[in-house]
Amino acid sequence: MKIFNDINSLRKILSRKQPIAFVPTMGNLHAGHLALIKQAKQLTDNVVASIFVNRLQFLPHEDFNRYPRTLDDDCRLLSELNVNIVFAPNEEILFPTKQEFLLALPSVADTLEGEFRPGFFRGVATIVLKLFNIIQPDIAVFGKKDYQQLYIVQEMVRQLNLPVEIIAGETIRAHDGLALSSRNQYLNAAQRSEACQLYQILLQIKREIISGHQDFLSLQENATQHLTGRGWKVDYIRIQKRSSLMPAQTGDDDLVILAAAWLDKTRLIDNLEL
Ligand code: PAF
């Protein structure tokens, strides 16, 4: 496995490889990332993983500085999965000067996560586009855990005619249902055992919809109250259309339930498709 920091030597080696599957990450790899890597490996032997904690997608008060950086462990895990190439640039490589060109995103990027983390998707889309331009992958794998991110990347590829196929990876969960995330390690023991309630409430909403409950607003409200009563601070619990990520109406059947909520200082997100 080769680890690259600079763009020129990465491009040189990639020019001889095809097709290329790409898995972008911010490092601190867990079983969720590794599942995406394995999915990529099934499509081609030439898998590139990137590790870069992208400043552009953090708000000033967010956890950019304390975001876990574990490059040696990450590289060991990637080499165990026979990843050929790791791109782990430092900030000077990706931002040699201030990143002044930033993508303007459609209004869906201002909803859900974007409502609570303004500018987040602009930062994500801009770095993903830069990474696509550097690596020029044929395929890129993104996890459904970040459902709205996956949607926005798919829209970016479609609307900007980028020559890359986006593949979605299923969310990997702990034994109690908690979606794996690097941020789970911020949780103390009591919070960790409470954390699975986020997924439990999504399951509960799903069961109610399947059994015929169509008043989506009251389902959202009840779920919010339930978590709030257990000590969570809920940013949103929303039932949306999968095809547009807009609020679902009675009778819609392509649904996804998306949620974001805080346990003390840790913000968790999750979603469930119907
Ligand atoms: O999902 C992530 O880890 C990040 O948002 C990504 C796609 C690597 C961009 O920084």
Domain harbouring 236, CATH code: 3.30.1300.10
The confidence score (pLDDT) of residue 63 equals 93
Is the same domain home to 165 and 34?
yes
Q: pTM for the complete prediction? A: 0.97
The confidence score (pLDDT) of residue 34 equals 98
DSSP state of 105: -
Could you give the CA distance from residue 186 to residue 7 in angstroms, rounded to a whole number? Answer: 33
Strands (E), 133-249: 139-143, 165-169, 233-241
- Ligand 1 near 197 CB (within 6 A): no
The confidence score (pLDDT) of residue 225 equals 98
Nearest to 151 by CA among 50, 256, 62, 57: 256
Amino acid at 253: D
Question: Are the beta carbons of 126 and 56 closer than 8 angstroms?
Answer: yes
Domain count of the chain? Answer: 2
Is the same domain home to 21 and 156?
yes
Listed residues 146, 169, 192: the one ending a domain: 169
Is the same domain home to 238 and 149?
no
DSSP state of 170: P
The residue nearest atom 9 of ligand 1, judged by CA position, is 124
Q: Is 226 a catalytic residue?
A: no
Is the same domain home to 148 and 191?
no
The confidence score (pLDDT) of residue 195 equals 98
The residue nearest atom 6 of ligand 1, judged by CA position, is 25
Is the same domain home to 139 and 262?
no
DSSP string of 22-40, one letter each residue: EEEE-S---HHHHHHHHHH
- Ligand 1 near 182 CB (within 6 A): no
pLDDT tens readout for residues 46-76: 999 999 999 999 999 999 999 999 999 999 9
The confidence score (pLDDT) of residue 181 equals 96
Instruction: Give the pairing of strands 165-169 and 47-51.
Output: unpaired
The confidence score (pLDDT) of residue 93 equals 98
- Name the residue of 105, 149, 157, 171 to mutate for ligand 1: max ligand atoms within 8 A of Cβ: 149
| Ligand 1 closest atom vs CA 131 | 9
Long-range CB contacts (within 8 A, 24+) of 29-34: 29/70, 29/73, 29/74, 29/77, 29/78, 30/172, 30/180, 30/181, 30/182, 31/172, 31/180, 32/143, 32/145, 32/169, 32/171, 32/172, 32/179, 32/180, 32/181, 33/143, 34/77, 34/81
Is the same domain home to 66 and 161?
yes
Residue 128 lies in a domain: yes
Task: Tokens for 37, please give them.
Answer: 């890597």
Residue 243: how many CA atoms within 13 Å on its side-chain side? Answer: 5
Is the same domain home to 98 and 10?
yes
The residue nearest atom 2 of ligand 1, judged by CA position, is 25
- Ligand 1 near 26 CB (within 6 A): yes
Q: Which domain holds residue 215?
A: 182-273
The contacts of residue 230 (CB under 8 Å, 6+ apart) are 194, 197
pLDDT tens readout for residues 125-166: 999 999 999 999 999 999 999 999 999 999 999 999 999 999
The residue nearest atom 8 of ligand 1, judged by CA position, is 25
**Residue 151 dihedral angles phi and psi, to the nearest 5°:** -60, -45
Question: Are the beta carbons of 149 and 124 closer than 8 angstroms?
Answer: yes
- Ligand 1 near 111 CB (within 6 A): no
Could you give the CA distance from residue 166 to residue 21 in angstroms, rounded to a whole number? Answer: 10
What percentage of the chain reaches a pLDDT higher than 70? 100
Is the same domain home to 145 and 199?
no
Q: 66-100 burial, b if ≥16 CB within 10 A, otherwise e? A: ebeeeeeebbebbeebebbbbbbbeeebbeeeeee
Residues of the chain with pLDDT under 70: none
User: Residue 225: which H helix or E strand, with range?
Assistant: helix 216-229
